[in-house]
């Protein structure tokens, strides 16, 4: 079983951003022939770059990127300093042209021939976070700060967390790392399922487990202390924990 733990859109995202080095520079060419250089074209101009990594046919890619397109349209309308890029190190330009047409995607797409593999590889090594599969997201702020793969318990929440991460990288979010570390349930993924430890006074935190197809297959309250939650569903699962202090932890894992 592979695990991915990501909590609370603002606070834990900030913590993740402080772990690794600055984002490495890259130059890629999208399927329309336009060149994109990370620092020269965007970061040095004070912009945030939102990168979506995937391959054609990846679970949820069409749904997530269609919603990401809506966010990109909103940011464009607001004249926000944000650039979106979608990259696949497995697909050719012709594959991506077909995908963009079918999914109504206007965000620039970069395939293997355009240099996607070199741009994506640094984020697969564990330096910035643990890579567990596509689709995933990497956000880079103007100073090179990386926020690695914000993900929610559904498509809508994922897009909301990406939006929050953009605000954070633009200096418009709230840094609450120290507060987030207090009295918050912790999650460990084991071969049997989830091992969730609930701090004192946080009993009755609500856990929801979803399959990646959106089906809710577990809902229940957690007790104070250790909670062993068996998971028998195959494939990618998403979880959401709403604690009594109002904080939420979400994440994804596969089995």
CATH of residue 244's domain is 2.60.40.3080
pLDDT digits (tens, 9 = 90+) for 86-143: 999 999 999 999 999 999 999 999 999 999 999 999 998 888 887 777 899 999 999 9
Number of domains in the chain: 2
Pairing of strands 225-230, 236-242: unpaired
Does residue 67 have a pLDDT over 70? yes
Question: Which pLDDT band, with edges at 50, 70 and 90, does 16 fall under?
Answer: very low
Residues 142 and 117 in one domain: yes
Question: Mean of the pLDDT values across residues 135-158?
Answer: 88
Q: For residue 73, what is the domain's CATH number?
A: 3.40.30.10
Residue 132 shares a structural domain with residue 187: no
Q: What CA–CA distance (Å, rounded) separates 205 from 199?
A: 10
Q: How large is the average pLDDT for residues 163-184?
A: 62
**Residue 153 pLDDT:** 66
Contacts of 46 (CB under 8 A, 6+ apart): 81, 142
Radius of gyration of the chain from its Cα atoms, rounded to whole angstroms: 18
| Residue finishing a domain among 126, 152, 177 | 177
Which of the listed residues 113, 146, 177 is the one where a domain comes to its end? 177
How does the average pLDDT of the chain come out, rounded? 82
Output helix, strand, coil percentages for the chain, rounded to the nearest 5. 30, 30, 40
Does 173 lie in the same domain as 243?
Answer: no
Establish if 109 belongs to a structural domain.
Answer: yes
Does residue 214 sit in the same domain as residue 135?
no
**Together in a domain, 135 and 211:** no
Q: For residue 248, give its domain range.
A: 182-254
Q: Is the dihedral of CA 216, 53, 44, 147 positive or negative?
A: positive
- Which pLDDT score is estimated for 202? 61
Q: How far apart are CA 158 and CA 68, in angstroms?
A: 9
Q: Which of 177, 212, 239 is the last residue of a domain?
A: 177
pLDDT digits (tens, 9 = 90+) for 175-225: 433 333 345 678 888 888 898 888 776 667 888 888 877 788 888 888 888
Cross-strand bridge partners of residue 186:
197
The answer to whether residues 67 and 157 belong to one domain is yes
What are 69-85's pLDDT values in tens digits? 999 999 998 899 999 99
10 Å CB burial of residue 63 (0-12, 13-18, 19+) is middle
168, 212: one domain: no
Is 226 inside any structural domain? yes
């Amino acid at each position: 079983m592979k695990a991915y733990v990501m909590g609370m859109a603002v606070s834990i995202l900030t913590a993740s951003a402080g772990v690794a080095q600055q984002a490495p520079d890259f130059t890629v060419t999208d399927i329309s022939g336009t060149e994109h250089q990370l620092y020269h074209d965007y970061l040095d101009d004070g912009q945030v770059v939102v990168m979506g990594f995937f391959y054609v046919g990846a679970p949820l890619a069409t749904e997530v990127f269609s919603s990401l397109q809506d966010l990109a349209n909103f940011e464009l309308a607001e004249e926000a300093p944000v650039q979106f890029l979608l990259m696949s190190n497995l697909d050719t330009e012709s594959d991506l042209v077909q995908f963009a047409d079918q999914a109504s995607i206007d965000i620039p797409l970069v395939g293997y021939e355009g240099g996607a593999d070199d741009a994506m590889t640094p984020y697969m090594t564990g330096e910035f976070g643990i890579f567990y599969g596509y689709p995933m997201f990497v956000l880079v702020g103007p100073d090179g700060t990386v926020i690695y793969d914000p993900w929610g318990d559904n498509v809508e929440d994922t897009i909301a967390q990406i939006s929050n991460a953009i605000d954070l990288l633009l200096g418009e979010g709230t840094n609450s790392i120290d507060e987030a570390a207090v009295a918050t349930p912790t999650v460990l993924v084991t071969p049997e399922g989830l091992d969730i430890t609930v701090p004192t006074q946080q009993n009755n935190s609500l856990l929801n487990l979803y399959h990646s197809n959106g089906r809710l297959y577990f809902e229940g309250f957690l007790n104070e202390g250790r909670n062993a939650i068996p998971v028998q569903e195959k494939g990618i699962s998403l979880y959401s924990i709403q604690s009594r202090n109002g904080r939420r932890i979400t994440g994804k894992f596969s089995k």
